[in-house]
Structure 1
Amino acid sequence: MSSEPLPITALSGVHPEEKAAKRPVRRRKDEDTLEQEHLTEEEISAAGRKWYFVHTYSGHENKVRHAIKATVEQMDAKNKVFHVVVPTEDEIEIRDGQRRTVKRKLYPGYVLVQTIELKEGDPDSDEAWHMIRNTTGVTGFVSSGTRPVPLSMDEVNHILRAMRMEQPRVRVSFIPGQSIRIVDGPFEDFVGTVDEINTEKGRVKVIVNMFGRETPVELDFLQVERL
C-alpha cells in the first residue's frame, strides 16, 4: 500500500469555523446541494472501522462522494468501505437584503470516509485503499509517511457534532470597525461604524453620529450594508 503524505495537522484539532475563516468557500452550481447520510452512533463508532480524510480537488467533493459510493456498489465492497461524508453545516447567508440557508463545506477539498482499518500488507485493506485512491478527483489520503492516518473518535465526533447543529450560523460580510450604511428603519441613510456583531441573534451594534455625539444603535443584519 502506498499513499501521498499529507499533513494530518492541517485537519486535526482545528475547529470548522477556524478552518473556514482561513479558506473561503467558492461554490460550484452543482455542488450547492450536498445530501448527507444520517448515521447512528453505532455506525459511527462500530468496532473494526476507522474514519479517514481523503483529499480531493476543490469543488469536486460531492462528485467524489458519489463516485466512491458507486464503485463500492459495483464491486460489492460494502464490507470494506462503509460511509462517505462531505462535512457541511447549515449557514444563513444574507445577500441583496434576503436571508437564505445554504450548505457550507467545513473542510473544502476533503471527504470523510469510513472503511475497515487500513493495514500494511492486508489484501482487504489494499483493495479498499486502491478503490478510493483511484477514484477520479481524489489526490490522496491524509497520511503519515506512506500510511493513511485514521481520525480519533474525538475528532470524528467533533466534525459530526458541527454538522448536526440545529441553529445555523449567520455569515456576515462586515467586521468590527468597518463603515456601513443603514438601509432600513428610523436611521435609514445614516452612515456608521460596526461596533459589535452577534451572529447568534443576527444583530449588529453600529455607532452613528447624531447631533455631534456618537450613539450606539442595535440593528438587524438586513438593515445595514457595506459601503
Structure 2
Amino acid sequence: MPEDTLKDELARTIFGDVEPQAPPAEEAEEAAAVETPEAEAPVEEGPKDPRLKWYVIHTYSGYENKVRSNLERRMQSMRSQGGEKITQVLVPTEKEKEIKGGKRREVDRKIYPGYVLVEMVMDDDSWYVVRNTPGVTGFVGSGARPVPLEDTEVRQLLKQLRDETPKYRITFQKGSTVRITTGPFADFTGVVDEVMVEKEKVRVLVSIFGRATPVELNFGDVEKT
C-alpha cells in the first residue's frame, strides 16, 4: 500500500472525521503573529511510568505550535512542583520538497493540521491543564473520558516522524499542464499522463514535431503552470 494511503488510513483511525476549527478573528490575528516553525522535540526513550499514554488533542487551525509551546511551559511548571504527568508534546511534521518560482526548497509540513500529540498520565489535574490551554478545543475520542492511542498507532506515528527523507509536494495530477524546468526539454510545456508517486517520477506528453511524445521526468524537473 502506498505511503500516502497508509497515512490517510492512520489519520482516519486516530482522528475520525473531526475537522480543525478556525479560531475567533481576534485570536487568529494573535496566532499569526506568534506562529513560527520550531524544531520538533525528540521522542524520549527509556523506562517510563506505565500510566503514561499518548493522547490526541485538537486545536484551532494554525495554533499547533503555540499550543505546544504553552503546554511545554505548563509541563515544566508541573515538573518543578514535583509532578511528572505531562512528559512530551509533539506536532507531527514531515520534510517536504517543493518548487516555487523555479527554485527548489525544503519545508516542514504539518502532517495532521489541527492536531497535537501529548504523552501524559491522565487524571483530573492533567486533563484540566491540557483542556484549558489556549487554542485547545478538546481531546479526540468519544465519551467523557479521553481515550489514549493504541500502542500500534503510536508505533506507526513515531516511525513516520523518524523518517527524515524529504518528499516532493505534488501539485499536479493526470491531465495537469506543466512546464519542464531542466534538461533538453527545458521550457517545454506538456500534459501529465501519469504520476508515479513511489518512483517520484511523472510521465508528460510533450508536443514534438506536432506529435504527443511521452517523456519520463523526475518530480523536481517540472512545475505546474
Q: Answer whether TM exceeds 0.5 for this pair.
A: yes
User: Residue 182 of structure 1 aligns to which amino acid in structure 2?
Assistant: I
Aligned residues with identical type, % of pairs:
46
Alignment of 1:6-155 (within 5 A): 13-14=10-11, 31-42=35-46, 47-75=50-78, 76=81, 78-116=83-121, 118=122, 125-155=123-153
TM-score w.r.t. structure 2 length? 0.78
Structure 1 residue 56, shift from structure 2 partner? 0.8
SS at match of 2:11: coil
Structure 1 residue identity aligned to 2:170: V
Q: 1:70 to 1:170 in 2, by over 3 A?
A: same
Q: Secondary structure at the match of 1:55?
A: strand
2:162 alignment partner, one of 161, 164, 189 = 164
The corresponding residue for 2:190 is 192
What code does the residue aligned with 2:135 have? Answer: G
1:131-155 Cα offsets, whole Å, 9 max, x none, are 1111111111112111101000111
Residues 225 and 143 (structure 1 numbering): CA distance in 2 closer, same or farther, change over 3 Å?
closer
> Once superposed, what is the RMSD of the aligned Cα atoms?
2.8
Aligned residue identity for 2:149: L
Q: Name structure 1 gaps, 5 residues minimum.
A: 1-10, 119-124
Which residue in 1 is equivalent to 2:24? none
Return the alpha-carbon distance in structure 2 between the equivalents of residues 197 and 92 of structure 1. 16
In the alignment, the residues of structure 1 paired with residue 38 and residue 94 of structure 2 have an alpha-carbon distance, to the nearest angstrom, of 10
Distance 1:77 1:168, change over 3 A: farther
Deviates more, 1:183-192 or 1:136-145: 183-192
Change (3 A) 1:69 1:225: closer
Query: Does 1:225 find its partner at 2:223?
Result: yes
Structure 2's unaligned 5+ residue stretches are 1-7, 21-30
Q: Read off the aligned partner of 1:102 and give its amino acid letter.
A: V
| 8 Å CA contact 2:180, 2:187 repeated in 1 | yes
Q: 1:182 aligns with which of 171, 180, 183?
A: 180
Mapped to 2, the partners of 1:37 and 1:63 lie a distance apart of: 14
Query: In the aligned structure 1, how far is the partner of 2:140 from the partner of 2:108?
Result: 24
**TM-score (norm. length: structure 1):** 0.77
Offset of 1:49 from its aligned partner?
Answer: 0.9
| 3-state SS, counterpart of residue 62 of structure 1 | helix
Partner of 2:154: helix, strand, or coil? helix
Alpha carbons of structure 1 residues 71 and 13: separation in structure 2 relative to 1, 3 Å: same
Q: In 2, Cα distance between the equivalents of 1:160 and 1:65?
A: 17
Partners in 1 of 2:69 and 2:187 — Cα distance? 49
1:142 and 1:106, CA in 2 relative to 1: closer, same or farther beyond 3 A? same
- Is 1:58–1:109's contact at 8 Å kept on the other side of the alignment? yes
Q: Relative to structure 1, is the Cα distance of residues 34 and 197 closer, same or farther in structure 2, using a 3 angstrom cutoff?
A: farther
Once the two structures are TM-superposed, the CA of residue 115 in structure 1 deviates from its matched residue by: 0.6
